[in-house]
Amino acid sequence: MGSLIIMLLSMAGYVLMYKVYGKFISTKIFKINALADVPSKTFQDGIDYVPTKKEIIFGHHFTSIAGTGPIVGPAVAIIWGWVPALIWVFLGSVVMGAVHDFGSLIISMRNQGKSISEYTAKYISQRTRLLFFIVVFLELWIVIAIFGMIIAIIFDIYPDSVFPIWTQIIIAVALGYLVNKKGFNVTLSTLSAVVIMYITIVAGSYLPFEMPVLFGIPATGTWTIILLIYAYIASVLPVTTLLQPRDFINAYQLIVAMALMVFGVVFASFSGGLEIVAPAIQQNPPNAPSMWPFLFITIACGAISGFHSLVSSGTSAKQVASEPDAVFVSIGSMFTEGLLATMVIIAVAAGIGLGYEHQGTTLYGVEAWSTHYSSWTALEGLGSKLGAFVTGAANMIEKTGVPHLWALAIMGVFVASFAGTTLDTATRIQRYITTELFSILKIKQFENMHLSTSFAVVTAAVLAFSTGASGAGALMLWPLFGAVNQTLAALALVVITLYLKSKGGKKWVWAGFPAIFMSLMTLWASFINEIEYFNDEKWLLVIINTIVITIVIIIIFEGLKKFIEINRHATKPIV
């Protein structure tokens, strides 16, 4: 019954925190105004700036910030025990993630929908703007290249996900057309689209597709090329054509998948078959780094993630129709992601014990968990990271009466769909970042969306294929991603702190203390990584990590100077 109690307490906790803490942050700290001008209406262009119902933009925002992050992170971090993973997910999402995500979104909405890199100049200094852009560009560069590879690997591991994933794009375009052009009812149309999508999932479980080697390019390389081409097309289309309807479908897909997992936990718990088989705390697992500070770097999405600030100040700020809607979109999404991460922890802490295939033998209970999590090195590779979740979740869903084959297909498509949404959004945001970055350099040609999008996609492709035709080149920089991503979260919190400080009073502490904590954890982890990269003679990682550490220290130093300056001089509040 432990899994059931954990799930119910987490649900109740997130609902309570949304109603109490979410309201406090939005009304008392940021003082939202329903009548305030918003970029989606002021700059409405039908392509990027489109005022959208909060229920629809929630679908886009959540599926964009989630991706595989709240799945992979907890699925790895549980090696230190389910208790620290669960505590960090809940406290991280409430105490840090809420103010980080909402602050990034609302400040962008109050600054013409500009990215956090752009408005950094306003709240810290002009010197920090270019440095912030470098960190953001680096993160998105890795994300676009690696997520193309991630989806390619998912297609390779779960070939039954190929048919429904590509069919979903057609369904989404049709949904966008019927709702936006023909005036069809949004809810009924979306429900119909979701039903059709699940029919394709069942069909896909019987119609697996394995990409053959083409022109000497392995399957993952071919899929990476196709996915980057798709990302280009998706990111230049109006958001109402593909991005919004696809994400809205994915939001319903989330509801269905999480409902199946919830019922799976209930059914399995009452049948007495869902025991937590992971250790509560395991401080020194074989070959693993120290839990402090790496727990806070490993679990990002689901607790606090710098990528969220890019989505908030990238695509979402240009679509939210009013400041009150931003609460549901950002804090609602953050807490929903925290709940998803909690379900992942239950799946890999208990669900995996219901049956785990290993070298032709089915293992159960503690033996199943201990085999998969025998050491840190045993978790290397995407298949291992995702496999524990997909297997555990499918085992739980099977308890509801859904055939195991269908359950595997449902969860495989669920993971691939969210990864695809992140790829779409990251490419679009990189277009915005490229345009803003080159505007600083006075190169106006990149105001053309096709040129800036091409730059985003081509640079990602160069990274992806830098080590060969497999498209796995981004794996060279993947070890940096966790620290870079959480570094971005720390820097976003620094900007939010200074924004609140400029308003006067003590409101800044609600972002200030999380900023201090995340800065310490990320710098600590980055210095440990630096020593490891140096000892292993991984010179590319040494160079890039050194650049990132230097930038972070400079921005934090500039932030402290600005904080002291505001403290000394009663400057006018910045609108």
Q: Which domains, and CATH codes, for the chain?
A: 2-568 (1.10.4160)
The pLDDT of residue 287 is 85
Q: How far is CA 95 from CA 87, 90, 230, 485, 511, in A?
A: 12, 8, 37, 18, 9
The pLDDT of residue 363 is 85
The pLDDT of residue 1 is 53
Q: For CA atoms 403, 407, 408, 410, give the dihedral sign.
A: positive
pLDDT along the chain (575 residues), means of 10: 89 97 96 95 92 88 84 91 96 97 96 87 85 88 86 85 92 90 86 90 88 89 93 90 84 85 91 86 88 93 93 92 97 95 95 86 89 80 76 91 87 84 88 85 87 94 90 80 90 95 91 96 94 91 91 91 83 52
Radius of gyration for the alpha carbons in the chain, expressed in angstroms and rounded:
22
List Cβ neighbours of 567 (8 Å cut-off, separation of 6 or more).
501
The pLDDT of residue 550 is 93
Helix (H) or strand (E) holding 356, with range, is strand 356-358
The pLDDT of residue 271 is 80
The pLDDT of residue 319 is 94
**Range list of β-strands (E), 61-117:** none
Task: Using alpha carbons, select from 76, 31, 540 the residue that is nearest to residue 294.
Answer: 76
Residue 5: is it exposed, middle or buried by C-beta count within 10 angstroms (0-12/13-18/19+)? exposed
Q: Return the residue matching tokens 């999405």.
A: 301
Helix (H) or strand (E) holding 414, with range, is helix 404-440
Where are the alpha helices (H) located in 271-362, listed in sequence order? 291-298, 306-312, 323-326, 332-349
Q: Report the C-alpha gap between 229 and 461 in whole angstroms.
A: 10
Q: Report the C-alpha gap between 339 and 195 in whole angstroms.
A: 24
Residue type, 562: K
The pLDDT of residue 383 is 67
Q: Report how far apart the first and last C-alpha atoms of the chain are (Å, whole number).
A: 51
pTM here is: 0.91
- Token output for 553: 């220290």
The pLDDT of residue 417 is 84
Contact 361, 93 (CB under 8 A): no
Q: Report the C-alpha gap between 554 and 542 in whole angstroms.
A: 18
The pLDDT of residue 180 is 84
The pLDDT of residue 516 is 95
The pLDDT of residue 573 is 53
The pLDDT of residue 147 is 82
CB atoms within 10 A of CB 199: 12
Helix (H) or strand (E) holding 55, with range, is helix 54-66
List Cβ neighbours of 307 (8 Å cut-off, separation of 6 or more).
65, 67, 69, 139, 143, 300, 301, 426, 485, 488
Coil/strand/helix, residue 114: coil
Q: How far is CA 2 from CA 83, 99, 278, 355, 451, in A?
A: 12, 30, 12, 18, 54
The pLDDT of residue 270 is 85
